[in-house]
């Protein structure tokens, strides 16, 4: 499987998480649900890693990095995304969440010495403009609401993902993917569970078919498989090039809405899709630079 196909698979898996989360949320407290998802995904990755004798983290620096990744990619990301849905619309959430590749480009330049050329920078901006156009109908319909709180949660999630992606890129060539992603998910789930313990009734889970299906889909393909593939990809190509494909997530979500929920695509949305795809192409086609990791 080529790197591009792997990235597209990851983006598709992340896209299906949004409707699946909605399916399960009525049956469990938000953070309890998020902690269960992360822990189950982590265990699913660690079991084959241990059974196959893959090397496990041993030094303090590696554990510190995995703890930071777990705090960012799992704890802050899940905490922000699950809570933001209570306060702001998907349109606003989509636009703010997709500032993440732009923030990552800055951090990658500072800490990974990965520099986008002019075409790549224009591609990132073009893709973001496309996302704004896609979300614009939802944005125009919004009125009232606790926007400040919702925006805070989304920015928190985006920041956590951004920092963790930079850290993943730094260690992706020096540690086993199954072990690294398994441990960071388990560590992140402990942080989530600790917050849930003090803020929620963790026993208030309804174990019915919709919740179980939602949990399994989120934990297995939506988290375990997606994180494992993402880690492997970041061990091979630059963060900026891989991260540009995250703009595909709302496009996949839009496509699923059209196919399965009778949603329609207007001219503005179609233009947004075209601009986003063009932006991704510009970033992914830029000349690769040799970088130190």
Q: Looking at residue 49, what is its pLDDT?
A: 96
pTM: 0.85
Q: Looking at residue 289, what is its pLDDT?
A: 43
The residue ranges of the chain whose pLDDT is under 70 are: 1, 85, 88-95, 138-148, 260-264, 286-293
Q: Looking at residue 292, what is its pLDDT?
A: 41
- For the chain, what are the domain ranges? 3-114+140-244
Rounded Cα–Cα distance for residues 254 and 259 (Å): 9
Q: Looking at residue 104, what is its pLDDT?
A: 84
Contact 4, 284 (CB under 8 A): yes
Q: Looking at residue 37, what is its pLDDT?
A: 96
Closest CA to 14 of 161, 284, 211, 218: 218
Contact 234, 165 (CB under 8 A): yes
Rounded Cα–Cα distance for residues 199 and 193 (Å): 10
């Amino acid at each position: 499987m080529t790197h591009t196909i792997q990235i597209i698979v990851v983006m598709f898996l992340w896209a299906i998480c949004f409707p699946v989360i909605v399916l399960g949320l009525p049956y469990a407290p938000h953070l309890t649900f998020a902690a269960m998802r992360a822990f189950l995904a982590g265990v699913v990755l660690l079991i084959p890693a241990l059974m196959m004798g893959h090397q496990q983290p041993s030094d303090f620096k590696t554990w510190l990095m995995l703890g930071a990744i777990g705090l960012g990619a799992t704890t802050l990301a899940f905490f922000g995304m699950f809570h933001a849905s209570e306060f702001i619309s998907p349109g606003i959430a989509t636009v703010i969440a997709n500032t993440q590749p732009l923030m990552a480009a800055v951090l990658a330049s500072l800490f990974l010495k990965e520099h986008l050329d002019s075409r790549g920078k224009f591609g990132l901006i073009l893709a973001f403009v496309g996302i704004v156009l896609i979300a614009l109908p939802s944005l125009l319909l919004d009125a009232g609401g606790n926007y400040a709180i919702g925006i805070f949660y989304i920015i928190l999630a985006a920041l956590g993902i951004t920092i963790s992606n930079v850290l993943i890129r730094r260690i992706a060539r020096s540690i086993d993917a199954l072990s690294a992603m398994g441990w960071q998910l388990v560590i992140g789930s402990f942080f989530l569970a600790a917050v849930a313990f003090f803020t929620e009734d963790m026993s208030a889970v309804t174990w019915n078919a919709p919740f179980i299906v939602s949990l399994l889909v989120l934990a297995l393909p939506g988290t375990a498989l997606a994180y494992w593939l993402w880690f492997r990809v970041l061990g091979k190509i630059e963060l900026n090039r891989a991260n540009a494909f995250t703009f595909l997530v709302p496009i996949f979500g839009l496509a699923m809405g059209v196919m399965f929920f009778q949603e329609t695509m207007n001219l503005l949305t179609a233009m947004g899709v075209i601009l986003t795809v063009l932006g991704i192409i510009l970033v992914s086609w830029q000349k690769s630079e040799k970088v130190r990791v």
